[in-house]
């Protein structure tokens, strides 16, 4: 059985095209399949369009969340309700072609893989969002230690074994590509050129993308807090040398007078301390969120 998990938020304009292409692909790949759509608190006609399509095809399952819980939470809801032996996940903006799931399936069967993910070959564009996305992937690759994580998103096909491993994670601040890389198992990828959005604009705000990037980095790397340690040790060494120089200057009688160096030193140390507090605060905030143990999402209605 093949399950295809797709989160949607205010995508009424592309629901028909998305389901048409996804259904066509699913019917070719597997005799038994389901398409699990997560309506992540849409305020337009997305849900109405989905319910209308479901009337003619009961293979379409709709998880209606009680409000907008965010991209990763919506994915988690869909994965927890997917029943298939193979589970495909893709964004609902048609930038990741559903037809490639067939190629992923063939590769998984031929090479006996547990995970096949899509790796984008597009060069980062100079516009802000694609450029920053490319920068993030390079930084995350270096900080996380995962070698095949660059230019990789959610688009992938998982075996039931791989999905069961992912579902064991109970953390709230989650980044699915990172979790997918963390579980190990035998993984492979296919390369593809990511398309432009079929319709409309991205529903994820820049602040949400920044938050997701922060979750990815702070969840999979200790480097930020280690940088603070290195900077602190460097500062101690520099000011030790400065103290030795000042002492020698005092004894030698050629010490410089003035408040500039004193004020600059105070501001420099103050800035470092505030930076350290900010980094430590990011980790403490995430510990606090995890300790609350709040549910990732609430389901308003499940149309199955």
- What is the predicted pLDDT for the residue at 44? 85
**What's 118-151 look like in SS3?**
EEECCCCCCCHHHHHHHHHHHHHHHHHCCCCCCC
Give the model's pLDDT for residue 303: 83
What pLDDT sits at residue 183?
85
Identify the DSSP state of 35.
E
Q: pLDDT tens digit string along 72-81?
A: 888 888 998 9
Task: Decide if pLDDT at 154 tops 50.
Answer: yes
Cα 148 to Cα 290: distance, rounded to the nearest angstrom: 28
Instruction: Identify whether the C-beta of residue 101 lies closer than 8 Å to the C-beta of residue 182.
Output: no
Tell whether the model's pLDDT for residue 27 goes beyond 60: yes
CATH architecture of 2-203+294-303: Alpha-Beta Complex (3.90)
Tokens describing residue 290: 């995890």
For tokens 């296919």, the residue is 190
Q: What percent of the chain has pLDDT over 90?
A: 8
DSSP 171: -
CA angle 280, 283, 293 (to 5 degrees): 145
Please state the rounded mean pLDDT for residues 223-247: 71
d(CA 37, CA 89): 10
Residue 68 burial class via C-beta count within 10 angstroms: exposed 0-12, middle 13-18, buried 19 and up: middle
pLDDT tens per residue, range 115-145: 988 888 765 544 455 556 556 555 655 655 5
Predicted TM-score (pTM) of this structure = 0.68
Q: What average pLDDT is seen over the chain?
A: 78
């Amino acid at each position: 059985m093949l399950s295809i998990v797709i989160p949607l938020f205010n995508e009424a304009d592309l629901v028909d095209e998305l389901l048409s292409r996804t259904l066509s692909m699913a019917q070719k790949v597997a005799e038994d399949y389901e398409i699990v759509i997560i309506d992540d608190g849409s305020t337009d006609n997305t849900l109405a369009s989905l319910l209308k399509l479901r009337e003619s095809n009961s293979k379409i399952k709709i998880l209606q969340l009680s409000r907008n819980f965010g991209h990763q939470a919506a994915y988690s809801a869909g994965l927890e309700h997917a029943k298939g032996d193979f589970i495909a996940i893709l964004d609902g903006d048609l930038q990741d072609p559903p037809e490639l799931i067939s190629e992923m399936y063939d590769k998984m069967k031929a090479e006996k893989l547990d995970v096949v993910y899509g790796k984008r070959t597009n060069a980062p564009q100079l516009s802000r969002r694609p450029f920053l996305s490319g920068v993030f992937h390079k930084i995350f690759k270096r900080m996380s230690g995962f070698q095949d994580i660059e230019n990789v998103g959610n688009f992938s096909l998982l075996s039931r074994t791989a999905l069961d491993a992912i579902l064991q994670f109970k953390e709230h601040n989650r980044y699915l590509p990172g979790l997918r890389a963390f579980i190990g198992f035998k993984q492979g990828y296919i390369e593809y050129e990511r398309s432009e959005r079929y319709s409309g604009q991205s529903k994820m705000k820049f602040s949400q993308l920044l938050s997701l990037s922060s979750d990815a980095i702070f969840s999979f790397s200790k480097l930020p807090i280690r940088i603070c340690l290195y900077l602190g040790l460097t500062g101690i060494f520099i000011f030790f040398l400065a103290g030795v120089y000042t002492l020698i200057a005092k004894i030698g009688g050629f010490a410089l007078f003035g408040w500039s160096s004193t004020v600059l030193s105070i501001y420099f140390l103050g800035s470092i301390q505030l930076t350290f507090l900010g980094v430590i605060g990011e980790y403490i905030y995430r510990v606090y969120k995890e300790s609350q143990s709040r549910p990732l999402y609430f389901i308003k209605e499940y149309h199955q």
